[in-house]
Amino acid sequence: MASRLKETDVVIVGLGAAGGVAALPLAQAGIEVVGLEAGTWLTRKDFAPDELRNNVRGWPQAAQKANQEIPTSRANASSPTAPRATVHPMMNGVGGTTLHYWGQSWRLNPWDFKVVSETKRRYGASRVPKGSTVQDWPFGYDELEAYYDKVEYEVGVSGQAGNIDGKIDPRGNPFEAPRKRGYPMPPLRWTEFIEKMAASAKSLGWHPFPGPASVNSRSYQNRSACMYHGFCNRGGCHVDAKNSTMVTTIPRAQATGRLKVVTRAHVTTIEVDANGQVAGVNYLTDGVEYFQPARVVLLAGYTYENARLLLLSKSKAFPNGLSNNHGQVGRHYFSHNMLAGVSALFPANTSSWYGLPAQGVAVDDWADDNFDHSGLDFIGGGNLWVYSDRRPIGAAGMSTFGRAPAWGSAWKAFIKENADRSNTAYIQKTTLPYEDNYLDLDPAVKDPLGFPVCRVTAEFKDNERRVAVFTQEKMERWYREAGAVAVQRAPVGGAMGISTHAYGGTRMGDNPEINVVDRWGFSHEAPNLGVLGASTMGTSGGHNPTLTVQALAWRTAEHLAKNWNRISSRRS
């Protein structure tokens, strides 16, 4: 039998980007929170600048749960399952993947909240891609602005504002939505190569600007500024300059005395009582079962695990999985199209051995609906992003641009000359949900506990392919303008596979027939269950999801605190 623990007000499943943020406003409001985390506490000592361990071997020291449940994937329902990835895109640890993520902290564009209505208004209803299940968000950018602001200051984001209350600042992004104030820190520094790329964008008539990062450009909240040592990509920060929830919101929540962090807690199911309300969660530590009762459960795993845990949590009230009586868990899934990148070879060194992937120059002229799509056959676009990030093993694996074989003396001469002369832009592109892209439980592959892993069935459709071709052409033009001597485009389209930017599966919306959670992030069917993370997002825009995930998490937690009696009350 499971040991029944003392009931708490709120249990948060997963203390990562979302759960780690939500804990703070709850604890500050006087609510008792238990945070269950599958990983452990890591410290600066764990964050060695070690490419083999971090990048090649994928953080074996901190993926103990994730690597047991790597999702399977296939392009569509009639295609074979692809070879399974060997490393999960996320990690375990207090702070979750904010420990080793890139730290790019973007707000979405207002268009991303209103893709359907804005497309109809500007181009006509026929321009919404066929088969897409995209819908407008239940609220617009203005609703989220205050929460973006809150997180930018609480967590700490560096950047250059481009639009404060409608006043455009040409140093920033002129396509940015209006913000109430600037970032709490100036942007990260630029290298000579990034300066050159910015100048080339300007000569094309575009509007380059430094991207926002949850990385300290100067000391902030008594933590160090960034050291630019070059191991930020899939690496934790050795000076705590990356603003993971481990060093920001979680310790502040703990300081209230109302957040209890439980590490190495492997949550297996969410328990439902006879009235169809959520009662708490079951978890294992070292094979020992615990039941943590709670008035409210906030599910804050990664997108794949959020959907999987709901599907695994079957009960009389929810025979097809928790909050799945409308069959919507796993639907409206998509992952950000960050494939179909562009690589360039330059005639001189770019001096990119140091720096970080959140340090760079962005162009939003071709993102979202920032340009006229009247004569085009797609909607949306992509953010062009050029950054400083290179390590030796990765450099050795660079494309030879058809100029040398892959090995031997000729390759060696090529790599000696060119190891620091390439640059790759992956381009984050608008990606939409479709009727036949979804998550479910794999019928064959199980984790070591015997539970099925998540299965991804998803492929890029025409709209995504057209956005990819269009933005690749822009990116190639930018590289050529900066003097690239060779440019290569990666293939467009195909299966989505598994991703670090996975959305949907528990989509947010007013209509319970086609959405799992309401506009506040609470289940339409089990109202004392909240879901946090990009699994609630219905569109991606062309920018990294984490800041939006964190703004939504803060908003859900604040809503819960303000409506505590109603949401936490037991039906009888």
Partner 1 sequence: MTFISRRDLLKRTVAVAAAAPVVRALERSAENLAPPEASVARTIQAGGAPGALESLSAHEMELLEAIVSRLIPSDANGPGALEAGAARYIDRALAGVLSPSREAYRSGLAALDRYAQSSRGKMFAQLSPTDQDSVLMDVETGAATGFTGSSAAFFGMVLNHTHQGTFGDPYYGGNRDFVGWDLIGYPGVRTMVSTTDQKALEAHQLKPNHKSAYDYGSFTRASAHHVSAEATGHQEA
Chain positions 172 to 191 lying near partner 1, rule: CB under 8 A, are 189, 191
When the beta carbons of 2 and 514 are compared against partner 1, the nearer one is 2
Residues 237-296 that bind partner 1 (CB under 8 A): 238-239, 254, 260-265, 268-269, 271-274, 282, 284-289
Bridge partners of residue 454, in order along the sequence: 441
In sequence order, what DSSP letters do the residues of 383-429 get, joined into one string? EEEEE----HHHHHT---TTSS-SSHHHHHHHHHHHTTSEEEE--EE
Coil, helix or strand at residue 208 = strand
Would you count residue 399 as binding partner 1 (CB under 8 A)? no
- Report the distance separating Cα 509 and Cα 147, nearest Å: 18
Residue selected from 13, 47, 106, 475 as contacting partner 1 according to rule CB under 8 A: 47
CB 467 within 8 A of CB 540: no
- Report the distance separating Cα 435 and Cα 430, nearest Å: 17
DSSP one-letter code for 512: T
Residues 412-451 that bind partner 1 (CB under 8 A): 412-413, 415-416, 419-420, 448-451
- Report the distance separating Cα 81 and Cα 77, nearest Å: 9
Residue 272 CB, shortest distance to partner 1, in Å, is 6
The H or E element spanning position 73 is strand 72-74
Would you count residue 223 as binding partner 1 (CB under 8 A)? no
Residues 111-170 that bind partner 1 (CB under 8 A): none
> Quick count: other Cβ atoms within 10 Å of Cβ 524?
19
Report angle CA 462, 463, 469 to the nearest 5 degrees.
Answer: 85
When the beta carbons of 80 and 287 are compared against partner 1, the nearer one is 287
When the beta carbons of 60 and 124 are compared against partner 1, the nearer one is 60
Q: How many residues bind partner 1 (CB under 8 A)?
A: 81
Residue 6 CB, shortest distance to partner 1, in Å, is 11
When the beta carbons of 238 and 466 are compared against partner 1, the nearer one is 238
When the beta carbons of 16 and 433 are compared against partner 1, the nearer one is 16
Would you count residue 325 as binding partner 1 (CB under 8 A)? no
Residue 51 CB, shortest distance to partner 1, in Å, is 7
Would you count residue 354 as binding partner 1 (CB under 8 A)? yes
**Of 201-209, 369-377, 390-398, 476-484: span binding partner 1 (CB under 8 A):** 390-398
- Report the distance separating Cα 39 and Cα 83, nearest Å: 26
CB 94 within 8 A of CB 259: no
Residues 474-533 that bind partner 1 (CB under 8 A): none
When the beta carbons of 170 and 443 are compared against partner 1, the nearer one is 443
Would you count residue 53 as binding partner 1 (CB under 8 A)? yes
**Residue 546 has which token pair?**
């984490």
When the beta carbons of 311 and 537 are compared against partner 1, the nearer one is 311
CB 336 within 8 A of CB 501: yes
